[in-house]
Amino acid sequence: MKKILVTGGAGFLGSHLCDKLLAEGNQVICLDNFFSGHKRNIAHLIPLPNFELLVQDATIPFQLSVDEIYNLACPASPRLYQSFPIETFKTSILGALNLLEIAKKTGAKIFQASTSEVYGDPQLHPQAESYFGNVNPIGPRACYDEGKRGAETLFFDYHRQHQVDIKVMRIFNTYGPRMSATDGRVVSNLILQALQGEALTVVGDGNQTRSFCYVDDTVDAMWRLMNSSKTLTGPINVGNPLECTILDLASLILDLTGSKSQLTFLPATADDPIRRQPLVDLAKNELSWTPSVSLKDGLIQTIAYFEKLLK
């Protein structure tokens, strides 16, 4: 049994990770201040003897002795992080510093949940880990993009200077049950609008692309990277390499929900990437990982979650 800290453990992705780590027989400490996470995501875990909830802000230094740390603490919703840019940037940088200090002192292995947003609005397509990105450092998304880039810098500096055992994963668009209904992400937005008979809002012309990965596949990759060879530090891309336009996503959601809603188009937002598609050869070769859940099957599960949530 390992003692594992998951920061942001009450979030969408973090709660699914807690599920997996507990199923593997570990002791899990979930740290969250519920800024963007929800207690309902972990309500089924609280009674378990191997689960502990620590209500704590990752930006405030604390002491803990653990074997592994998964750092997922940071708002990932554009709507939320653009409303609270300073808090978001502080969480990325100060949170990473605090956790890296714990890892340095205790010898814990530490995982950083980075993001495809480190590539910005990419001029290289598809995106490989060697690409340095095209990020606007003073734009409305910079608090998240540059915060995550800065966190990666800290991770690799602690690895080089203090020999901290690090794992860095760049996560592309992930979706599934427990997504927040209010965070403004495209999958949850379109599903909720379809289920409620509202017009489906498409930003820009809808021809921008994303690569949608189901949450179970992303969590599996996270676990594989954490348990990989010590020499594999990352960064490593994880996402579904199948590119999908927002118009195609909306059409599939309308089909799966049986909704008669129409589309309505909104102005494009600043610095919104036009194309996003990961190269995942490194994950395939080093982790023996490929996504297994199709977009259709994953959306069926996600739609069922939101149908239950709306009742």
**pLDDT tens, residue by residue, 25-83:** 999 999 999 999 999 999 999 999 999 999 999 999 999 999 999 999 999 988 899 99
d(CA 274, CA 245): 10
Q: Is 310 domain-assigned?
A: no
Q: Is 207 domain-assigned?
A: no
pLDDT at position 97 is 98
The Cβ of residue 201 has, within 10 Å, a number of other Cβ atoms equal to 15
Q: Is 35 domain-assigned?
A: yes
Q: Is 81 a known active-site residue?
A: no
Task: Using the predicted structure, report yes or no on whether residue 272 has a pLDDT greater than 90.
Answer: no
Range of the domain at 110: 3-172+215-238+278-291
Which residue intervals of 84-185 are DSSP H helices?
85-106, 142-162
Structural contact between residues 193 and 258, judged by C-beta atoms closer than 8 angstroms: no
Give the chain's domain count. Answer: 1
Q: Is 230 domain-assigned?
A: yes
Burial class of residue 285 in the structure, from the number of CB atoms within 10 Å of its CB (0-12 exposed, 13-18 middle, 19+ buried): exposed
Q: Is 269 domain-assigned?
A: no
- Which whole number is the average pLDDT over 212-234? 97
pLDDT at position 136 is 95
The model's pTM is 0.96
**Residue 59: CATH number of its domain:** 3.40.50.720
Q: Is 181 domain-assigned?
A: no
Residue among 41, 14, 44 nearest 29 (CA)? 14
84-141: pLDDT as tens digits: 999 999 999 999 999 999 999 999 999 999 999 999 999 999 999 999 999 999 999 9
Structural contact between residues 141 and 117, judged by C-beta atoms closer than 8 angstroms: yes
Task: Using the predicted structure, report yes or no on whether residue 234 has a pLDDT greater than 90.
Answer: yes
d(CA 6, CA 223): 12
Bigger pLDDT: 272 vs 69 = 69
Q: Is 200 domain-assigned?
A: no
d(CA 116, CA 238): 9
Q: Is 225 domain-assigned?
A: yes
Answer positive or negative: Cα dihedral of 150, 154, 155, 159.
positive
- Point out the catalytic residue in the list 70, 81, 119, 144: 144
Share above pLDDT 70 across residues of the chain, in percent, rounded to a whole number: 100
Burial class of residue 124 in the structure, from the number of CB atoms within 10 Å of its CB (0-12 exposed, 13-18 middle, 19+ buried): middle
